[in-house]
Amino acid sequence: MSVASDSLEPEQVRTMFDRIAPVYDQMNRLMTGGLDRRWRDATARRVVQPGDTVLDAACGTGDLALADLRAGAARVVGVDFSEQMLERAARKSSAIEWVQGDLCKLSFADGSFQAVTIGFGLRNVADREGALRELRRVLAPGGRLGILEITRVRGPLAPFFRIWFEGLVPLVGKLLPGGSAYAYLPASVRRFPAPRELAAQIAQAGFGDVRYRLLAGGIMALHVGVAR
């Protein structure tokens, strides 16, 4: 899950994730009661078809890339610019190609992938529109994009979400080494576009049939689109 403010420079984001890498997986389990694995599987199942070549952008410690593999991908490439996050990913699977790089400047040829997933990553990218265009570029026409992100809860659950997310999560983060960066999490969610607005940005980047669905009582949004 994401911790950065989108006002940070890419280099600051990279350094921050290098610092929190040792506690990242534990924090995910703690913050979600273990449900994060279910959301990643739902994302992968929605966009990956058996035999696909899949890119997991901003792969971090690799859990969504592993979900892509479970969903039947033949080949999965995980890209992230944080060396420490990637090092943890590499310990989890040697069946996935782990590549260090910036998702806004990918080294892959146009149309290299049938599906692209990105989980809790887009919120940390300052140039969101550029990132979406780059993900579109590496997808083959007809390829599928799946974006899993935390979103602002509206409605009756909103006060509970605020206590959990703006109070408890940063507090628990402070108790873990390197976890103080979790103080950035609520601000980054506040700055991220609402689901409908994000859907419009995805369409603008060259995707058709853009849809989204809210998960976990509206805490998460899963956006999908098809490369035109």
Ligand X SMILES: C[S@@+](CC[C@H](N)C(=O)[O-])C[C@H]1O[C@@H](n2cnc3c(N)ncnc32)[C@H](O)[C@@H]1O
Among residues 6, 23, 31, 63, which is the contact residue for ligand X, using CB under 6 A?
Answer: 63
Closest CA to 209 of 222, 221, 223: 223
Task: Tell me the two tokens of residue 9.
Answer: 């420079």
Nearer to ligand X (CB atom), residue 100 or residue 204: 100
3-state DSSP: the chain helix, strand, coil percent, rounded to 5?
50, 20, 30
10 forms part of the interface with ligand X (CB under 6 A): yes
Q: Exactly one of 5, 114, 124, 151 binds ligand X (CB under 6 A); which one?
A: 124
Minimum Å gap between C-beta 227 and ligand X is: 20
- Which region holds residue 142: left if phi is over 0, alpha if psi is between -120 and 50, else beta? left
Say whether residue 166 binds ligand X (CB under 6 A). Answer: no
- Give how many residues touch ligand X by CB under 6 A: 23
Question: Strand, coil or helix: what is 95?
Answer: coil
**CA pair distance 25, 179, nearest whole angstrom:** 11
Name which of 59 and 227 has its Cβ closer to ligand X: 59
Residues 14-43 that bind ligand X (CB under 6 A): 14, 17
Beta carbon of residue 36, minimum distance to ligand X (angstroms, whole number): 7
> In the complex, what is the shortest distance from the CB of residue 155 to ligand X, in angstroms, rounded to a whole number?
25
Of the candidates 15, 227, 12, 220, which has an alpha carbon nearest to the alpha carbon of residue 120? 220
Q: Tell me the H-state helices in 33-150.
A: 36-47, 63-70, 83-92, 128-138
CA 100 to CA 17: how far, in whole Å? 13
Nearer to ligand X, 125 or 202 (CB): 125
**Per CB under 6 A, which of residues 64..123 are in contact with ligand X?**
64, 80-82, 85, 102-104, 119-121
For ligand X, give the closer residue by CB, 52 or 80.
Answer: 80
Q: Is 60 in the site for ligand X (CB under 6 A)?
A: yes
Q: How far is the CB of 86 from ligand X (least distance, A)?
A: 8
Largest CA distance in the chain: 46
Binding residues for ligand X, per CB under 6 A?
Answer: 1-2, 10, 13-14, 17, 58-60, 63-64, 80-82, 85, 102-104, 119-121, 124-125
